[in-house]
Structure 1
Amino acid sequence: MKAVILAAGYGTRLQRDVAADSSGKFAHLAGTAKPLLPVGPCALITHWVRALTASDCVDRVYVVTNAVYLAAFEEWASHFTNVEILSDRTTSNDGRLGAVACLQLAVKHFNVDEHVLVIGGDTLFKEDFSLSKVKERFSDLQAKCEDNCLVLSYQCKEQETRKYGILEVDGDLRVLCMKEKPLPSETTSRRACPCFYVFSKKSLPLLDAFLEEKKEAPIDEKDAPGNFVSWLIPRKPVYVQQISGRFDVGNLPSYVECDLYFRENLQDVESYMV
């Protein structure tokens, strides 16, 4: 299995917050890609590479970034033997390819013909999350059907359904549909779906079909990777693994909360996410 970490975003909200902060406490974060932000003892993305390596979940980690942050990611990756960096060659948020196109780019560039673990580069999970458990669950699903894919979900608050893709599942935890940012009254589910997916190798050709179908669509329809998951659900079996929650670094307050947790509350750095 290979891992693709999506890290080509420009972090516009976070950078706007850093520029507007009058305290000067966060000036050192200016111009830093979100995955490279210091979170506790290391960069956010380093937590992922350490856990992916320790769990023996994948044998290569591919990171897709943009031309602006390419040099910074290449310098970071020089400390690891199993990480490769790929630029989408964009230079601005307005010109971004979108997350689904970045995933397709990695699959094609590295000739990936194995199962793919897709991770949002600005996301970390609570300590109950385990890559080893994900690997075991996906293996069980694959033994039943080679088309099976796996996503995560956690319970969000009622008022938060409008912020996330919400999964509706059956009694076997197979996903029936994903509703994008629904009103609480539009679904009884509170299963938010973070950017962490295990796509079977049989599902990868559908990236081409999705992007061909959406080639004239606005960038927003191609950017959020959840849009591909939503499109995939009627076409391939997708199942859920429950977790307790996540850290999503979108703006400065969410970054501060995440960093503080990893500095003061993380129990075991070595076994985190393994």
Structure 2
Amino acid sequence: MAPRANWKGFLRLSLVTCPVALYPATSESEKISFNQLNRQTGHRVKYLKVDADTGDEVPNEDIVKGYQLEKDQFIEVTKEELEEIALESTRTIEIDEFVDKADIDPRYLIRPYYIRPDGKVGHDAFAVIRETIREMNKVAIGRVVLTNREHIIALEPMDKGLVGTLLRYPYEVRSEQEYFEEIQDVKVTKDMLDLAKHIVNQKAGRFDPEKFEDHYETALIDLINQKRAGKPITPKSKPTTGNVVDLMEALRRSVGQEAAPAKAEKPAKKGRKASAGQKEMLMPIEGKKPKQAAGKKATARPQRKSA
């Protein structure tokens, strides 16, 4: 069963309309998370909303939004006033235009969502919109209101559904000139480029996210398992790297390093999904079998305890 939808409404292309639901395409719930504790008691720390001057706790019904003009001067805005200016497009993704995917600057991308028909009706209209975008090899640009704000959304077909990616507005993207203006103009020689291209060719491959492992997440799991088992935590020695001053020499060494026999290196470790790592961490320490004896995967997943 699919998770609960973040948004439900209608997808509209001119006079063609169908009910749709929008779901987050990514999740970070499998990552290790921590609670803040009182070191003295071991109890969780709770946050209270208090008046900055009096220190008294303020109930939710007495809290309003305020825009700061200058220090200690605010303009209060009520919930009713915000509802009064609510946009009419709160329940419709209106497709405004179609663009080439290459036209969308990656800096404007925020987050992806899955979009599918909502309910048993509207599948025909949804299919027409999806296949039109697919056949034209375009990206549909529309607008959607989430959490009271209107967002630009880019729609692309994926399998039987659509992927909608929220886009930033121009005022949210910083100019690159603020950061690149002081970069020196350097003339790169052909010999350096040839060596660098050789390194690139040796490392060429096909992007496969399964090959990558979140090493920090793995280290967190190992740390928590060690602490649960009562093992001492000893700091690891940090690797040292030689400082190669000559750029040409560094490129030559890199070419030699990449061309070294495969047997001299450890085999590439296939990335482990966060969910698998979480399951391993949650296994009772005393019940874990040695690696060489482990044959079957655990079928039960114990409840997670706070770290």
The structure whose RCO (Cα within 8 Å, separation 6+) is larger is: 1
Of structures 1 and 2, the larger Rg is shown by: 2
TM-score w.r.t. the length of structure 2 is 0.16
TM-score w.r.t. the length of structure 1 is 0.17
